[in-house]
Amino acid sequence: MQNEFASPEDPSDPAHKPLKTGQDDRRELLTVQARRVRATIGTKRSDKLLRLFDFLLARTLEGRPPSEMEIANEAFSIGPTVDGPQDATVRVYVHRLRKSLELSQADMAGPRLFIPKGEYALMLEEEPEDAGPVAAEVVPDADGKPQDPRRRWWWFVGLVVAGLALNALVWWGYARRDVAAEAPAVVATTLWGPLATDSRPVTVVMGDYYLYGEKPDGEAGAPRLIRNPAINAREDLDLYLMARPEERARITDSDKRYVPSSAVAALGDVYKALRDITRTSGRKLSLLPVSQLTPDILKSSDIVYIGQLGGLGTLLRNPLFQASGFQVGETYDELIDSASGRRFRSDGGLVLADERMARRDFGYLASLPGPSGNHIVVIAGTRDPALRQMAEYAANPAKLAALNGAVPGGRHGFEALYQVRTLGSLNVNGQLLLARPLRSGDIWDMSKPSQRFPNDDFEGDGAAN
């Protein structure tokens, strides 16, 4: 198979076959966009990704999308004996290619290439007109652990309650305009100012986590749901099982994700600020989990992230830490100041005999420019108590006033780190440790992440080709 593809006018191109009437322009647009994107995939030095891209392009232009078996045999030369359901190679590389297409086209104008879920073809996606995001499943719990899968109906109840609470907050905000007008406005603060002066819709993005099923050896009943920070999608699980085939018998894809109850509670606090920002402008306000954040949404709306640092997702995490003065340590419980080497590590992972002992957690606030002149606000914590504290601060103009003097205003962004004292799952108080401008000049032009992150083991191009 050829590594390069010919132009649509080249009669020698085997993919140049008559299409249905009205599809010639579509075919040409697809080919032109494919030529632009292929160069960015080539910089990753992944031969299999390029072979897969070229193969899917050729078969798409022919109007014959391939099967998983055909990709394995013809693109990867795995051989005719490959067992499709048991060998995850094709799904893994389709997953990587899908991610690569999203990242490489994040700041490209016009229609973009994508691989539809459940299909093996390259298709063109037009700019969205007014597509509303879908809310996440919410699994409220007290200690951050997933609930028993036999109580799945509670997930639906949690989702309905979260939606009703969000709508109630909206209407309450409109009904209390007179009271809110008397309070100090968050729109004048360094955190919210750039976003408040924009006219784009606002998308609230909540950190969510992937769950898979695990059935202990010799035990009957439904599999228990497991969260592994290194496994954040079905394709990551495929990679995990490729390296550990002996675990296939007891591990299954549950196709479930959850949003911690702390993030749902934090949403209630942050909504106080969002109410003031959107109530008079008529800007659309949407809610979705970070797993459903796409480059299109990232470009077309202002983003407010609420969640733990470990739940940021690659689309937000990579540019943020390109601009940040911090690096992530061995886990997301630890931040390292790049300039001084000072380490800020949460006590949340420690097991203490007395829950009445004070622990130390760290909260994080940031505001940074988006890829199209839009704005991104990050409200996060290393653990749940710090996230709750940061959400309270984000809605409190008096607390945010300290940032106004610590970092300059403007559209280049800043970051702030807080130390939060906790008792059990409760946040007691917070102290501002540092605040500084972000290095945001070219963060959206970087093709590689600033470091290897703790959950990179089974993600993207991290594995060997």
pLDDT in tens, 167-180: 545 444 544 444 33
Is there a domain that residue 144 lies in?
no
Task: Please check whether residues 355 and 381 belong to one and the same domain.
Answer: yes
pLDDT of 128 over the 50 cut: no
In a domain, 31, yes or no: yes
Judgement on whether residues 330 and 251 belong to the same structural domain of the protein:
no
Looking at the structure, tell me whether residues 87 and 190 fall in a common domain.
no
Tell me if 34 is assigned to some domain: yes
Are residues 89 and 153 part of one domain?
no
Query: Pairing between strand 202-206 and 302-308?
Result: parallel
Residue 247 lies in domain = 210-256
- 291: in domain: yes
Summarize pLDDT for 183-195 with one digit per residue, the tens: 447 888 889 988 8
- Domain total for the chain? 3
**Same domain, residue pair 239 and 156:** no
Residues 368 and 397 reside in one and the same domain: yes
On whether residue 13 sits in a domain, the answer given is no
Same domain, 220 and 283: no
Confidence of residue 218 (pLDDT cuts 50, 70, 90): low
Both 285 and 179 in one domain: the answer is yes
**Full-model pTM:** 0.66
- 371 with 445, same domain? yes
Mean pLDDT of 106-121: 78
The whole-number pLDDT of residue 408 equals 66
Question: 5-14, 233-242, 349-358: lowest mean pLDDT where?
Answer: 5-14
Bridge partners (DSSP) listed for residue 368 = 376
Looking at the structure, do residues 311 and 378 belong to the same domain, yes or no? yes
Q: Is 237 helix (H, G, I), strand (E, B) or coil?
A: helix
SS3 344: strand
Rounded Cα distance, 198 and 282, in Å: 12
Name the nearest CA neighbour of 309 among 263, 265, 268: 263
Q: Answer whether residue 241 shows pLDDT above 70.
A: yes
Helix ranges, 63-183 (H): 68-70, 89-104, 153-175, 177-182
Both 419 and 371 in one domain: the answer is yes
